[in-house]
Amino acid sequence: MTTRQPNISQFFIQIEGRDLAPEVMAQLDDAVVEDDLEQPAMFMLRFNDPQLKLIDGDLFKLGAEVHLGAADVSGKGKPVMIGEIVALEPCLEQGNSVLVVRGYDRLHRLLRGSRIRTFLNRTDDDIVRQIAREAGLQVEIDSVGAEYPYVIQHNLTDLAFLRERAARIGYQVRVDGRTLHFRRATARPPQAPALAWGDRLTSFRVRLAAAAQPGEVQVRGWDPSARRPILGVARAPSAPPQVNEDQTAGQVAERTFGNPATLVVSEHPVASQGEAERLAQAILDQVGGDYLTAEGECRGEPALRAGVTITIGNLGRRLSGTYFVTSTRHTYTPRDGYTTTFFVSGQRPTGLLAAITPPPAIARFAGVAVGLVTNVSDPEELGRVRLSFPWLDESHESDWARLALPWAGAGRGIFAALDVGDEVLVAFEHGDMARPYVVGCLWNGRDKPPRAAVAEGRKLILLHTAGERVITLDDGGRKLILTTPEHSITLDDAARTVEVMSGSQRVVLDGAGRSVRIESDNTLELSGAGGALRIGPSGVELSSKATLDVRANAVLSINGSLVKINS
């Protein structure tokens, strides 16, 4: 019987910088490495362990650094992946024992828990550097430069948050060894060794699909500072496959199906023209990447990794050219040797990771939420406030939130200044927590309404300030009442009266009785340019600076204990 000799020279494994011993490599049943632009790269190693030495030993430790590599066609060893062990799976069944070792590259560190925090006046460069530092990673960045006054990480993992930031501007988030890369998706990528059908390329499948391809992408938004729309437009993918297709995906769709198609995106708030244009280009690149997709397999090639380009020949005039690789799968077995499968697609995961990977999207908050006012000193004097969300994180403070008030416009509207600590109802523009709006104020168990809003058989509308100044519109009683702590004015349509009170002093205009009544518990004065009438505790005094006429069409009676004339 012929003994199978493991072909271990094609594949090598290092644990914490040391090569696995030949006797351990001889127990390797298979190895798989998956690499995708949108997720941490992963590896899986399966060892036959009939005597349970690997299971009982300490060679494979959680967190240990693993280098996986293979020999290229020249025999020179090249790395395939650098990662760390995250799981050990002993499998014992039917007299056979196997140890499965699983791991990820260090990008997985950005998946450890979600965070709620804000970044004020920071660039994407600043944000990426901070997150990389927290994860113990070095960083390389294609500088973005644009500074954002407010960015929120809303209950997202660091990786989901960075992918969200990258999706807005057409960037990629990758880790190579101990370095986090935040780079343009269209940056000049490395070139893998060329392949040719009939040589090292053993299979290749291509799909051209134009049905859902737009001619352009428009991102629309609103700039409240300038009070004008924002429009960003993209018409051509940044880096389509360099094959003999002389038209973009959108042009092919228009030529084939007629009528140019436009994809309008309005549900992603944007703050500037530049941000809108970057987002439009990123969306077009993602959608346009689905026009030409491909899957190929070749004899093992370590340099063939997600994010590289590869030139493929012998595919005919139309399809021969350069392709951008979005994911790969490297497989090694002692029986079949080392093979590499690669995928060409849009910015979407493929392979085993596709089933567990959501599409890159902006974090959304559906519905409304309760907030507490934390700051009312708006530097732009627009009446805006900052908020905290105690149900989310008490230390978090929102960006400046605009107030939705009745009849607000140029120099008009009902404005009620809020106080720190007020409970309010908050909505978010297109669900983006970075764009809050205060749509109303709330009473609660501690902050109660000044009086019942609906009285017995009467409908009341109250405007009540914290200083006890109240305007009451009483439809049931047909009254309008203006009240302060010391004064009141009542317009009573039912009684046809107007009553003005200041303390205990009272003036009543009686339309029904056709009378005017003035009441005072002290002095009553009526004065004009030529004279005055004064009624007080000491008596009544009538004076005139000129002529004073006292007339009666009937009897004139003057009574007193003593009547003095010209005295």
Q: What is the pLDDT of residues 244-290, one digit of tens each?
A: 666 666 666 666 677 778 888 887 888 888 888 888 888 887 777 77
- Quote the longest CA-to-CA distance of the chain: 155
CA 376 to chain CA mean position, Å: 23
Averaged pLDDT score across all residues of the chain: 84
Q: Confidence class of residue 559 from pLDDT cuts 50, 70 and 90?
A: confident
Once rounded to an integer, what is the mean pLDDT over residues 362-381? 85
What is the pLDDT, as a whole number, of residue 65?
A: 95
Return the ∠ at Cα 74 (arms to 68 and 79), rounded to 5°. Answer: 15
User: Residue 294: in which H helix or E strand, if any?
Assistant: strand 292-299
Q: What is the pLDDT of residues 220-243, one digit of tens each?
A: 888 887 878 899 998 877 766 676
CB-CB contact of 114 with 156 (8 Å): yes
Q: Which CATH superfamily is domain 369-441 in?
A: Gp5 N-terminal domain (2.40.50.230)
pTM over 0.75: no
CB-CB contact of 475 with 454 (8 Å): no
CB-CB contact of 481 with 475 (8 Å): no
Tell me what percent of the residues of the chain surpass a pLDDT of 70. 87
What is the pLDDT, as a whole number, of residue 478?
A: 84
Residue ranges covered by each domain of the chain: 195-356, 369-441, 454-544
CA-wise closest residue to 292 among 245, 259, 260, 257: 245
Q: What is the pLDDT of residues 143-176, one digit of tens each?
A: 887 888 889 898 889 999 998 888 777 788 989 9
